[in-house]
Chains A and B, each alone.
Chain A
Amino acid sequence: MSQQTIDFTLNGVPTRVSVPVQMSALEMIRNVAGLTGTKYGCGEGECGACTIILDGVSLNSCLLFAVECDGRQVTTIEGLASDPVGLRIEKAFVEAGAVQCGFCTPGMVMQARQLLEQNPHPSREEIQRGIEGNLCRCTGYVKIVDAIESASKE
């Protein structure tokens, strides 16, 4: 199997890794870079648990080839620790009661981050549409929408 060396920025840090060509970005982030905040939920882009931000747009990292990260900026949930808007969203999730088992939460927070970047003051309906690609089995989404709405109001 062919290995490729790629250079990219991971959460603001210049990073070089060697990956098999067919490896997904999700596998690279979890198993090669060792960041476990991004989750495997389904591996086929249906649940959003693996959402990351690549060059400013949110994507399912399970669908992205790791080699495509070459030369790009990748942000994972861990990278939001230094992002004021990201931290505001995380805090809003905590305060709104939007976290139960928490497995979908990193993906939700990342997608919310992208949503607020594109649309700083979304309506509730726009928020619901904005997270339509993120599945949650615990919360019924109500408090997740509350949290994103609350974060957008500050």
Chain B
Amino acid sequence: MKFVNEYRDQEASERYSQMIHDITTKEWNIMEVCGGQTHAIVKFGIDELLPKQINLIHGPGCPVCVTSLELIDKSIEIASRKDVIFCSFGDMLRVPGSKKDLLSVKADGGDVRMLYSPLDALKIAKDNPDKEVVFFAVGFETTSPANAMAVYQAKEQNIKNFSILVSHVLVPPAMEAILSSKQNRVQGFLAAGHVCTVMGYNEYYPLTKKYKVPIVVTGFEPLDILQGIYLCVKQLEEGKAEVENQYVRAVQRDGNLKAQEIINRVFKIGTRKWRGIGEIPDSGLVLQDEYIHYDASTKFGLAELVVEEPKECISGLVLQGIKKPNECAAFGTLCTPERPLGATMVSSEGACAAYYRYRKN
């Protein structure tokens, strides 16, 4: 496949690996923000190609993992209703709520459908006028253009039996929360490439200035990640703290303006609770007042829930890169992919699941 296989080249990977070894003189902690990058690092064994001094910390860039327990429980309540067709991306279906997950709602007879695109949910709404169709709008900025378009088109086409349960989260506030935390050890970032495809990378300049950390916009194939790490380490070794773009084939500085226009039309910034981390101000998207009747939470009149996480689960610390999955007492024993305690073990992007699958000894 073009623009995919070329970036999995062994010889080029080994050369980048050598280059990183050549310039590394000190210990550095680098966080890759995006779950897709974590997945690629573990799947291709990229950390094995790095000198021991480079410590890769896996960030909270897995929207499935950080969707709050309350929202999962809300989704389960809505999906259990007889007149509802509940639609979701595949990887949300196994995330455990406080009692069960969406897959078990489906097993119990709920109409829960796995979709590839939010527009498919809109089509289902058109085809089933006597049912309420709800789409679980999860994602970082990368997915917001798609979810925004579904709501935008719903309003344009006057489709009333459609709504979305919003769980959108934003990357820069999460990075700032990590950087401003007393326990922070992150010295450089690999920024999420596809988030920047949509949003550009102007938002990172204030962060590099304030916290003096290099931020390199990085892609998802092995060569992208290796080059991103190289550029980041080079800056760290040279005492620089700049924004740099490795993923030049897919990212421009201002991002996709058309997408941003639709996102801003449909959504506005709001506070969001991150599972395992807590509330981060201005870190999420909520629907604009004009589109509020497409908000499933409002439409179904669900009260605000307060739910407790299982005590043993330290996914919050894992998501912030403060602990590694195998440092959790429940890892591989009480908590496994078959019986997960937290979202980081369920989602295939979650650091715990990735560790379990590729490292288990």
Q: Tell whether A pairs with B.
A: no
CB within 8 Å of B: which residues of A? none
CB within 8 Å of A: which residues of B? none
